[in-house]
Amino acid sequence: MPPAHSTFCVRKIPHPPTPTRGIRFRPPAHAHSEKPELMDTRTMTDTVFSADSITALLKNFKQARLPLQVGFGKKNVTHTSYLVSMADNWLHIDQLIPREGNKQLKPGDDLTIRVSHGGTLYQFKSRHLSPTIEEDGFPCHKIAFPQQLDFSEQRTSFRVPIRRDQAPSVNILTHDGQRLCAQLENISDNGLCIRLHVPQTISDTQLVHCEINFTDFEPLSLDAQVRHNKAAPQVPASRIGMEFSSLSSLTRKQLSQWLMKLQRHHIRTGLPA
């Protein structure tokens, strides 16, 4: 148990409080200003089981100072926290807000944790292991490392599907200079999904450069950030979802024209757009 002198006296701040673990845990301006999802968005849900992929996503949550919505108890009352540190078998999360939740949270309690980022809602289950003290002397909570992570991606734009026998090639250049070749599965004005044959892989959250080549089309060249990476069922390949990053107005115009041409191609070849 944390020593009595360090329980909450370090957080003398007016209600509603925010974590004050120095500059490191000062929430960014966007932390509590997520825009509500549009009612007419389309939802794509999936689950990540790979420990490496889960670790990469959790590191992204920590680096971006994303607020965790922590639910527990019979009423599943939600409290806010932040990811402090992590290891192979456990996570450390900051004290809960409202702070009364720290007294209510007991070892063995089941937790449901949600994180919203970039139009995607992530959720995972965990268990409270014990209250503890972080290396900097602040009290926190030790919880179990999640076995899986579910996500629901809200899409406001239509994704153009690709016929497997006509799939364009996608040349990928990673930040460390690795060159990979993949197949395009679908694409929209916000992102794309590719199929990459194993053992090739791309780590989650990294920024990559993509060049898409399709017969009779001008090559499309743009940057994208990896959002999720999952092994494809029954085949030795992985499906990787990416979100386009910092597109210029010229590139967006080229992308829009490319998508329109692709939809017309599908209509002519019999694949519904």
Both 240 and 164 in one domain: the answer is yes
- Please count the residues of the chain: 273
Per-residue pLDDT band at 154 (split at 50, 70, 90): low
Q: Among 123, 154, 185, give the residue marking a domain's end.
A: 154
Instruction: Label residue 273 by pLDDT band (50, 70, 90).
Output: very low
CATH number of residue 50's parent domain? 2.30.110.10
CATH code (residue 202): 2.40.10.220
Distances (CA, A) of 111 to 61, 78, 83, 145: 17, 10, 14, 11
Q: Which domain holds residue 173?
A: 160-265
pTM above 0.75, yes or no: no
Judge whether 34 lies within some domain: no
> What is the per-residue pLDDT across 87-141, written as a single tens digit (0 to 9) for each?
889 999 999 999 899 999 999 999 999 998 766 788 999 999 999 998 888 999 9
